[in-house]
Amino acid sequence: MTQVLVGVDTGGTFTDFVLVANGSVRVHKVLSTPDNPARAILQGLAELGVGQELAAVVHGSTVATNAVLERKGVPTGLITTAGFRDVLEIGRQTRPALYDLRVERQPPLVPRERRLEVVERLDERGGVLTPLDPDSVAAAVAVLREAGVTSVAVCLLFSFANPAHERAVAEAARAAGLHVSASHEVLPEFREYERTSTVVLNAYVAPLMDRYLARLEAELPPGVPLRIMQSNGGSISAATARREAARTLLSGPAAGVVGAAYVAEASGFTQTITFDMGGTSTDVALIDGAITETTDGQIGGYPSKLPMIDIHTVGAGGGSIAWFDTGGALRVGPTSAGADPGPAAYGRGGEAPTVTDANVVLGRLIPEGFLGGTMALDVDAARRALAPVAARLGTSLEAAALGIVRIANANMEAAIRVISVARGHDPRRFTLVAFGGAGPLHACELAADLRIPRVLIPSTPGVLSALGMLAADVVKDYVRTVMVPAAEAAAVVESVLAELAARGQAELAAEGLPAERITIEPMLDLRYVGQSYELVVPYTGDMAAAVAAFHAAHERRFGYSDPNEPVQVVNCRVKARGLADRPALPRQPRDATARPEPTMHRPVVFTGADGPEVQDTPIYDRATLRPGATFRGPAVVTQFDTTTVVPPGWGGTVDAVGNLILEPAPREGARDAD
Amino acid sequence: MQTEPTVTVDPVSLEIFRSALTAIAEEMGAVLTRSGYSPNIKERRDFSCALFDRQGRLLAQAAHIPVHLGAMPDSMAAALATFDTFAPGDVVALNDPFAGGTHLPDITLISPIYVTVDGDPLLIGFAANRAHHADVGGMSAGSMPVASEIYQEGIIIPPIKLWEAGQPNRAALALLLRNVRTPDERRGDLTAQVAANRTAERRLQELVERYGLATVEAHGEALIAYAERITRATIEQIPDGVYRFTDYLDDDGIGDRPLPIVATVTVQGGTLTVDFTGSAPEAAGSINAVAAVAKSAVYYVVRCLMPPDAPMNHGTFAPVTVHAPAGTVVNARPPRPVAGGNVECSQRITDAVLGALAQALPDVIPAASQGTMNNVTAGGMDPRTGQPFAYYETMGGGMGARKGLDGLSGVHVHMSNTLNTPVEAFEYAYPMRIAAYRLRDGSGGAGAARGGDGLEREIAFTVPTEVTLLTERRRLAPWGLHGGEPGAPGENLLVRDGAVTRLPGKVRFTAQPGDRLVIRSPGGGGWGKP
């Protein structure tokens, strides 16, 4: 009997479910219940008719994320080394905008009166310069309790080198009934501001996650394990997530990338760039065999150094508004029409010309096919919205619409260049995996601009996050700063990595993983002595090999390296991975005779040699495109939550797992008869 | 010879090239940040990156640090004035404040960019970046001394080709590195700077490959006109008139008299002129600015009035004229010392221009901010490594209050936005400790909106250390506006054997093990009656 797994992704509007059992995949959606997200989850599970037979529920929660973005976490306190309580507020002493006389900064999550100091001080090797004064600890805890604080972050200088003081403070606070997040547990890594910010984020949301997950676990069928998605693209047990909630802050987008990588891999593509374009923002990420991670992330303006999938977000999407600046250039975004009123074509009173309106004017969004026909598109409103743009450009409406799409694509191209070209990756080696409501509309033209040879539209682009949860390994990340010259590092690196690996083994075993499914990936953060940014390289037990890998990585990333320069080991890292029993996506034999039947033909505008060119274009319903079906552009493929545009010169085929693969077709004089 | 294709520039293509050229300058900055060695570069982003066309006109400059706004074009001009030809792989280096530089620690590298047309190299433009090096020799570690002539401030590099056709000029490089305290770090920084230029080179070549040279050049031209239109539209929003304001530097570190900076701003239609006639004569100490710095300060103020992502190129400041009389503190002549021009005089020039414009735009202009960068340099021998160390850092402070909006606390203001060095990174790198780092309570000026608070940073010394402070607003407080009170002036205190001594704003001394240096940065002025 195969196991039954459910991935559940709580979104703003819908809670998505993907159920895998017996080699089949079922997709389900229910309306989200923001007041208590668990209600929608239980309802969905009931509607899917699954209960105790579930092998696991993997869940992506927005409880922690929303608490930070809406500043609705619990009353939080902070305890620091004497003299440093303001580090959280000072940050890196920069203002967020250089040339803005009215610039503002995010207020810190812990206000000053709840930031307390204890007398103690360590040096950079963990040696005690000033012993911990227990009276100062008792006084700080008392003040916080008095202030009504329920959760406290503890971050002392150099605690990663010697956690004794921090541990004592944490124990005192726990003894007083406070929920405690200690920096040597959450992130034993140097740079006090980023570490403090990370541990404060954890303290701010952990009690909420604790409460939410406790309730959800209690209401799930007994014995069904609950796993929670993390920002690093792996899952952890609910028990861990309740303690280390900051690890889940960006789990939704992370799961989307994992899902995209998973479906692309099923089609045989392991080098992909994911392109998730929605209404107000666009996420892009790069997968070069493995998903790219970063420890320089932030949420809502607050830095977090916990590993997360390196997702680059730009504030541009289908709702971005086109406008002329004072110099006369046509601009798209950053202002968005949002969901309400939304683009003019939504007919909710929006009048500003948006990217979506441009797509409507071009005939690329099919009024009858939008959201499965459940939402009418007002073509006239879109044309009215674009009229002033066309008038100012002195062109037709269609030319204006093409201009808006071109600029939107240029913005998207810039975002993709940041994660590819600027990091030494050649886009020509990648497949563009497009999803989100607007991604597949723009993907082919964007790919052409970047010389990406192939576009993949997943068969279920609307539930990639929920699908990604099912494909996610159980992952735990460990780090410790060591700061030693590479030439002298072997012993300390071996011992720290062994300790982190042992913790990883033990904690994954505690999550119920058998030893044969656990892998340990040791890594080192290296830099040239004197630099401030590190590159992560794998450690295979051979320091010389790690150093050589560093020189090569530096060359690739920055265009130079110097094998004679001394190298320093900054951090030791271990990624402990419990391999998921990835459900195989169902495959169907390709049917070469599967002739796609258009549901209709429509005039759609494309860029011709001399401006806009109207082409009579077949419109296909994705549901009718069976594996093996091939067609040529121009074409438009509609499905419930997205629309795919296949420009002239491109060809499409549906592969065995149902993914739509689009590639530039070899130029031919004559078209196939259709 | 092919016939030139006709190129059309329209509002759509304009936007596409604007974003492409800006992205190149920004990517250069990413390379520098990630691979530089000086804390000033890697941790604090004290650098600027720019792209020029083949005539040396600025095409794009990333928004890295305002004090370089007006200075990059001068560097380019100095390189063009010095050399008639540039071969592929040449790199021109300079830091001479009187020939395209600003102050000696800022070393600018300029690389020509070529494409191959019909088998021949064709010059299409230049990449340039300027970065603040942690030490360029001279009388004090960190090269931000209290000096009386420029020769004391470090090694002067007139425009020279430090690389020729891809090969390092070994003699020049050896001479340069022999004159600085931390040569390995310098070499690393220079390598990172070359890498940044190479990145720009590749990207501009790709752009030409994709769109064709004629199209790229036509859009460069169009973007210059476009930027100028935006600036004119901005200036037209300021009421016509003549506005004058005088602000003062505390002293030049040698004498103790305040030095006036007089800004007379004339707005007429779409043009703005700032005349600094009446400002103090050039000073004996290191507080002098060169004309490029005065221009940067004026450009910064104009840029603050422009839309958030306005382009930075040759056209941006065409409608702005700066008159800085030679021989004054805002346009010093050789061999005056100028180390503090970028960091201190530039802030006061900004304050004077803002003060003048506050009369024209009373609701827009904030009260005075801390008006200093609180420069701290320290050097000595690190007993842990047996190697010399050189530390340089600047400190944030209080921002002036805005109408209906408090000033920010503990941030860099106006001409700088460099990051602090993390305490833990500091203690790994130097044989000193940070004993406290906190907001300076109550230092912001009272008002309907409060000025931001300054910072307090306390450094404890463990080995004999040569320390130089170059700080301002220690005597004369940042002013309030419309009845708001001034912010508290800054303070520099030395704690030795339990006794506290107040140090001058500009001072050099040797700290002994056990000494503590407490630096308190100024608060911002308040806005409106409290």
**Does some domain include residue B69?**
yes
pLDDT > 70? residue B325: yes
Do B134 and B144 contact (CB within 8 A), yes or no? no
Q: If pLDDT is split at 50, 70 and 90, which confidence band does A672 have?
A: very low
Q: In this model, does residue A595 exceed pLDDT 90? A: no
Task: Give the span between the Cα atoms of B251 and B475, in whole angstroms.
Answer: 9
Nearest to B19 among A87, A192, A414 (CB): A414
Question: Does the pLDDT value for residue A531 go beyond 80?
Answer: no
Residue B420: inside a domain: yes
Q: Which residues neighbour B530 within 8 Å (Cβ) at sequence distance 6 or greater?
A: B446, B447, B448, B483, B484, B485
> Residue B437's pLDDT band (boundaries 50, 70, 90)?
very high
Confidence check: pLDDT of A149 > 80: yes
Of B176, B204, B227, which marks where a domain is finished? B227
Distance from CA of A505 to the nearest CA of B (A): 31
Interchain proximity B458–A83, CB inside 8 Å: yes
> Which residues in chain B have Cβ-Cβ distances shorter than 8 Å to A327?
226-227, 229-230, 233, 310-311
pLDDT at B528: 97
Q: Is residue B354 part of a domain?
A: no
pLDDT recorded at residue A279: 84
Interface of A with B in 218-247 (CB under 8 A): none
Average pLDDT (A575-600) is 86
Upper half-sphere CA count for residue A385 (Cβ side, 13 Å): 32
DSSP string, A101-136: TT---PPPSS-GGGEEEES-EE-TTS-EEE---HHH
Give me the sign of the Cα torsion angle B357, B363, B367, B372.
negative
Q: Is residue B38 part of a domain?
A: yes
Q: How confident is the model at residue A371 (pLDDT cuts 50, 70, 90)?
A: low
Q: Residue A1: what pLDDT?
A: 41
B-contacting residues in A 534-593 (Cβ below 8 Å): 554, 557-560, 562, 565
What pLDDT is recorded for position B394? 93
Does residue B149 surpass a pLDDT of 50? yes
CB A602 within 8 A of CB A363: yes
- CA–CA distance from A261 to each of A59, A281, A292, A421, A483 (Å)? 18, 20, 11, 20, 35
Q: What are the distances in angstroms from CA B381 to CA A413, B235, B388?
A: 49, 52, 4
The label of the residue with tokens 């530097």 reads B249
Beta carbons of A524 and A573 less than 8 angstroms apart: yes
- Residue A117: predicted pLDDT: 98
- Tell me how far apart the alpha carbons of residues B151 and B137 are, in angstroms, rounded to a whole number: 10
Q: List the beta bridge partners of residue B381.
A: B388
- pLDDT greater at residue A348 or residue B261: B261
* Residue of A272, A290, A292, A267 whose CA lies nearest to A584: A267
Q: Which of B176, B194, B227 is the last residue of a domain?
A: B227
Domain with B164, as residue range(s), is: 11-227
Residues A492 and A403 in one domain: no
CA angle B188, B190, B196 (to 5 degrees): 105
* Chain B residues touching residue A191 (CB < 8 angstroms): 422, 424-425
User: Rounded mean pLDDT of chain B?
Assistant: 94
Q: Are A427 and A420 in contact (CB under 8 A)?
A: yes
Chain B partners within 8 Å of A112 (Cβ): 439
Domain-ending residue, one of B177, B212, B227: B227
> For residue B239, is pLDDT > 60?
yes
Over residues A320-344, the mean pLDDT reads 90
Please list every residue in chain B whose beta carbon sits closer than 8 Å to the beta carbon of residue A157.
Answer: 423-424
Tell me: pLDDT of B135 over 50: yes
Whether residue A451 lies within 8 A of chain B, CB to CB, comes out as: no
Distance from CA of B203 to the nearest CA of A (A): 10
Decide which of A265 and B7 is more confident.
Answer: A265
Per-residue pLDDT at A642 exceeds 60: yes
Q: CB within 8 A of B32, min separation 6: which ones?
A: B41, B47, B49, B129, B131, B192, B193, B196
C-alpha triplet B353, B356, B361: angle, nearest 5°: 110
pLDDT value at B40 more than 80: no
Average pLDDT over residues B457-481: 97
Average pLDDT of the residues in B466-477:
97
Q: What is the pLDDT of residue A163?
A: 98
Tell me, yes or no, whether B486 lies in a domain. yes
User: With contacts defined as CB-CB under 8 Å, which chain A residues touch B435?
Assistant: 83
Query: Cα(B113)–Cα(B127) distance, rounded to whole angstroms?
Result: 7
| Residue A609 domain-assigned (yes or no) | no
Q: How confident is the model at residue B221 (pLDDT cuts 50, 70, 90)?
A: very high
Answer whether A325 sits within 8 Å of B23, measured CB to CB. Answer: no
Decide: A148 and A177 in contact? Cβ < 8 Å: no
| β partners of residue A115 | A78
Instruction: Measure A442 CA to nearest chain B CA, in Å.
Output: 16
Residue A368 in this model has a pLDDT that exceeds 80: no
B315 compared with A593, residue with greater pLDDT: B315
Kindly indicate the confidence band of residue A674, based on its pLDDT and cuts at 50, 70 and 90: very low
In contact, A232 and A293? CB cutoff 8 Å: yes
**B508: enclosing H helix or E strand:** strand B506-511
Phi, psi angle pair for B386, to nearest 5°: 70, 10
Model confidence, pTM: 0.92
Instruction: Tell me the nearest-neighbour CA distance from B400 into chain A, angstroms.
Output: 10
Residue A46 in contact with residue A220, Cβ under 8 Å?
no
b/e code B99-109 from CB counts within 10 Å (16+ = b):
bbbbbbbbbbb
| pLDDT score, position B39 | 67
- Structurally, chain B folds into a number of domains equal to 2
* Cα(A280)–Cα(A436) distance, integer angstroms: 11
CB within 8 Å of chain B, chain A residues 393-422: 393, 403, 406-407, 410-411, 414, 417-418, 422
Contact flag B14-A330 (C-beta cutoff 8 Å): yes
**Amino acid residing at B218:** A
Question: 3-class DSSP state for residue A433?
Answer: strand
What pLDDT score was predicted for residue B5? Answer: 61
Split at pLDDT 50, 70, 90, the class of B391 is confident
Is A90 in contact with B439 (Cβ distance < 8 A)? yes
Q: Torsions phi, psi of B132, nearest 5?
A: -85, 110
- The residue with greater pLDDT, A163 or A298, is A163
Q: What is the ipTM of this complex?
A: 0.93
Longest dimension (CA), chain B: 81
Cα dihedral sign, B18-B19-B21-B26: positive
Helix (H) or strand (E) holding B380: strand B375-382
Angle between helices B213-236 and B11-35 (to 10 degrees): 90
- Asked which of A578, A602, A637 is the last residue of a domain, the reply is A578
A528 interface with B at CB cutoff 8 Å = yes
Does residue B244 sit within a domain?
no
User: CB–CB of B420 and A90 under 8 A?
Assistant: yes
Please report how many Cα atoms fall inside a 13 Å half-sphere around the Cα of residue B246, on the Cβ side: 8
Q: Give contacts of A123 with chain B, Cβ < 8 Å.
A: 427, 433
Confirm if A651 and A631 have CB atoms less than 8 A apart. Answer: yes
Please indicate, yes or no, if residue B270 is contained in any of the structural domains. no
Residue A22 has pLDDT above 90, yes or no: no
Is the backbone of residue B244 left (phi > 0), alpha (psi -120 to 50) or beta?
beta
Question: Which of A578, A610, A628 represents a domain boundary (last residue)?
Answer: A578
A623 contacts chain B (CB < 8 A): no
Please report which helix (H) or strand (E) contains residue B520, including its range.
strand B516-520
From the number of C-beta atoms within 10 Å of its C-beta (0-12, 13-18, 19+), residue A22 rates as exposed
Do the chains contact at A83 and B35, CB–CB below 8 Å?
Answer: no
| Pair A112, A185 in one domain | yes
CB A242 within 8 A of CB A210: yes
For chain B, the straight-line distance linking the first and the last C-alpha, in angstroms and rounded, comes to 72
| Smallest CA–CA distance from A393 into chain B, residue | B11
**Which residues, including other chains, have CB under 8 Å from residue A357's CB and lie 6 or more apart?**
A343, A344, A345, A381, A382, A385, A386, A401
Position A369 scores a pLDDT of 66
Residues A413 and A450: beta-carbon distance below 8 Å: yes
- Mean pLDDT, to the nearest integer, of A320-337? 93
| Poorest-pLDDT segment among A12-21, A160-169, B220-229 | A12-21
- Looking at residues B409-426, what average pLDDT do you find? 94
Written as six digits, the tokens of A437 are 């409501």
The residue range of the domain holding A518 is: 474-578
Q: Coil, strand, or helix at residue B373? A: coil
Q: Taking CB atoms and an 8 Å cutoff, what residues of chain B touch A562?
A: 191
- Cross-chain residue pair B428–A190, CB shorter than 8 Å: yes
The predicted pLDDT at position B1 comes to 40
Residues of B in contact with A533 (CB under 8 A): 33-35, 42
Least confident residue range of A563-567, A665-669, B92-96, B493-497: A665-669
Average pLDDT estimate for A642-655? 95
Burial grade of B460 (CB within 10 A; 0-12, 13-18, 19 or more): middle
Interchain pair A93, B411: CB under 8 A: yes
Q: Which residues on adjacent β-strands are paired with residue A477?
A: A575
> Cβ contact (<8 Å) for B428 and A124?
yes
Confidence of residue A116 (pLDDT cuts 50, 70, 90): very high
Q: Taking a C-beta distance cutoff of 8 angstroms, is the pair A264, A281 a contact?
A: no
Instruction: Compare all CA atoms of chain A with the CA of B393 and give the residue at the minimum distance.
Output: A93
| Mean pLDDT across A24-51 | 90
What pLDDT was estimated at residue A670? 39
Say whether pLDDT at A442 is over 60. Answer: yes
Task: Examine the pLDDT at A375 and tell me if it is beyond 90.
Answer: no
Residue B305, domain member (yes or no) = no
Q: Measure the CA dihedral B477/B478/B481/B483, to 10°.
A: -30
| Residue in the structure block whose two tokens are 């620690």 | B105
A485 and A393 inside one domain: no
For chain A, the average pLDDT equals 92
Instruction: Taking residues A275-293, report their average pLDDT.
Output: 91
Residue B454, judged by CB atoms within 10 A of its CB (0-12, 13-18, 19+), counts as buried
Whether residues B223 and B371 fall in one domain: no
Nearest CA in chain B to A196: B422
Burial (Cβ within 10 Å: 0-12, 13-18, ≥19) of residue A135: exposed
Is the CB of residue A105 less than 8 Å away from at least one CB of chain B? yes
User: Which chain A residues are within 8 Å of B12, Cβ to Cβ?
Assistant: 330, 393, 403, 406-407
Is the same domain home to A92 and A202?
yes
Longest dimension (CA), chain A: 87
Asked if pLDDT for residue B501 goes beyond 50, the answer is yes
Q: How many helices (H) and strands (E) does chain A have?
A: 16, 35
Output the DSSP codes for B184-236: HHHHHHHHHHHHHHHHHHHHHHHHHHHH-HHHHHHHHHHHHHHHHHHHHHHHH
Whether the per-residue pLDDT at A472 is higher than 80: the answer is yes
* Pairing state between β A54-60 and A4-10: parallel
> A542 in a domain, yes or no?
yes
Lowest-confidence segment of A383-387, A509-513, B172-176, B494-498 by average pLDDT: A509-513
DSSP string, A7-75: EEEE-SSEEEEEEEETTEEEEEEEE--TT-HHHHHHHHHHHHT--TTEEEEEEE--HHHHHHHTT----
Q: How many Cβ pairs within 8 Å bridge chains A and B?
A: 194
Q: Answer whether residue B452 shows pLDDT above 60.
A: yes
Answer yes or no: is pLDDT of A215 > 80. Answer: yes
Question: pLDDT value at position A673?
Answer: 35
Whether A559 shows a pLDDT value over 80: the answer reads no
pLDDT above 90 coverage of chain A, percent? 74
pLDDT at A170 over 60: yes
- The number of folded domains in chain A is 3
CB B392 within 8 A of CB B134: yes
Last residue of a domain, one of A578, A612, A634: A578
